Structure 1
């Protein structure tokens, strides 16, 4: 838990569903901003959830303000806005199945947000993320550095968790990176994964590593299969909050995020998960590094999948 409290920072979260509520909870627990605004179209839902979270303030030491509202005017002059609004996956659905409905929702939300907070950075969580962050970028008219998608932070957390479980070590001592689409063609990089500085490939046999990769690629579907009526929310909420906090507090965190690429890794005109530096200006730079031929071929599968999603948005 962070000991310091930034002054005058405002974080708005659009969508008081499970992920948005989790993000608000983590924002208060980690003291990420002075004001946290939770917005939803359903009367009473954001108000009730914000009231519940606010009552944790004496227990976690939060001294700021949390507001639940149906009115976008409460979000005015936000520094960062997290967009979670949209429908969630159910068993048997792919992320692509959400596209048509969520494009309409996300476009409307973006217009409301940017009108009131034209200087904000936007963190997009709504699925399918790589297409939704493109939708926000095109709708908002904001520069590419101020629009970013959450995926790699979540996928890498899953990857690190599965590695730690396989080896019986502390998850925080696992370093691992997932690039590409937030979907079945994501690229968990095995070559760069390590545990306390020791290469993963020296600790586990190839077949075990590939099983961890497979489980990471389908980590969201595994949770959906258990829940039946919803999808993951606790860690996605925290992943989005980590990104927002890096921007709000100018932390210069190196995190895997869906960023708009203009030639990096040989990709242009798409949002794709890559390691970036997140600070006050949003995506301050992409950390580009050489990929093997096999990694490039796998990343190209992500590119093709995102291109199909983007084409389906009609933007």
Structure 2
């Protein structure tokens, strides 16, 4: 029997991403004692809850069960992975209208339940849907988070490790902007073992373009080979959720609400932010070059054009 209450997490969408997130979360923290799985196919959630319960003797005692939106009433975090997945040849922006409708059908009853915690969104297009989720919920902006460029940044680190023949663990590098084709690498801020990349090696403009292109194409290549991407984003989700429930104050690249940073307002977009128990503790404005600021603003403009066409 647990002596003290720790944290309750509700997962909405128990597909490949959702179930991988749940598995990762249970393995990475002992601060969760209740995990609720909600899916339109209830039998899937029931089966996954039983399957996940089998690992708890080797991890931590957690109550895991299939539930409903009403279970979010006393939750600390609601993680939303539900949505129509991207098909081969389809962009994340192609999904916006379909997934906006789905998102609205989820957010409204959760808010009605009395939920006062933090929303974490990974459904695509994540920057737009996170912006929409905040508008629908009416929540303070710091209590709505999107996964943003967290996965893009991990892919950048992997590509740099291969290019430079170094461990990914010594590389600190971020992709910023849209989680999609307008994202870009902040090359001037990349460090290797704490030292600036440009003091260790010189990447040509061609190298940089090829690396960014590879990041943009990484998801499509995985989808072409196995039909979906889920391990990477699931790990990013569990890392963000852990930062919230453990009040870790980590700086992570997420979909964060911009209010003047980079000259952008009224939109969630990929940038570093401090993540703690309140959700977003602070948005960190990265020191970008003038060209990078232009790329950030171009990314924002692409998002604003889509948002302008959506009726909430």
TM-score, reference length from structure 1: 0.93
Alignment of 1:44-55 (within 5 A): 44-55=43-54
TM-superposed deviation, 1:269: 0.6
Q: How does 1:54-203 map onto structure 2 within 5 Å?
A: 54-59=53-58, 61-69=59-67, 71-201=68-198, 202-203=200-201
Paired with 1:6 and 1:266, the residues of 2 have a C-alpha distance of 45
Where do 5+ consecutive residues of structure 2 fail to align?
none
Q: Distance in 2 between the 1:309 and 1:6 partners? A: 46
Distance in structure 2 (CA, Å) of the matches to 1:271 and 1:221: 23
Residue matched to 1:9: 7
Query: In 2, are the aligned partners of 1:183 and 1:218 still within 8 Å (CA)?
Result: no
Contact 2:72 2:115 (8 Å CA) reproduced: no
| 1:240-264 residue CA offsets vs partner (Å, 9 max, x unmatched) | 1111111111100100111111111
1:232 & 1:291 partners in 2: Cα distance? 30
Distance, in Å, in 2 between the alignment partners of 1:62 and 1:221 is 36
2:118 and 2:178 mapped to 1: Cα distance? Answer: 21
Checking the alignment, whether the CA contact within 8 Å between 2:173 and 2:190 is kept in structure 1 is: yes
1:16 to 1:190, Cα distance in 2 relative to 1, 3 A? same
Number of residue pairs aligned between Structure 1 and Structure 2: 307
- Do the aligned residues in 1 keep the contact of 2:9 with 2:34 (CA within 8 Å)? yes
Q: Measure, in 2, the Cα distance between the counterparts of 1:55 and 1:117.
A: 31
Kept after mapping to 1: 8 A contact 2:12/2:78? yes
Using the alignment, how far apart are the partners of 1:117 and 1:152 within structure 2?
Answer: 30
Aligned to 1:20: 18
SS of residue paired to 1:277: strand
CA 1:131/1:156 → structure 2, altered by over 3 Å: closer, same or farther? same
Pair 216,314 (structure 1): closer, same or farther in 2 beyond 3 Å: same
Aligned-residue offset at 1:118: 2.7
TM-score, length basis structure 2: 0.94
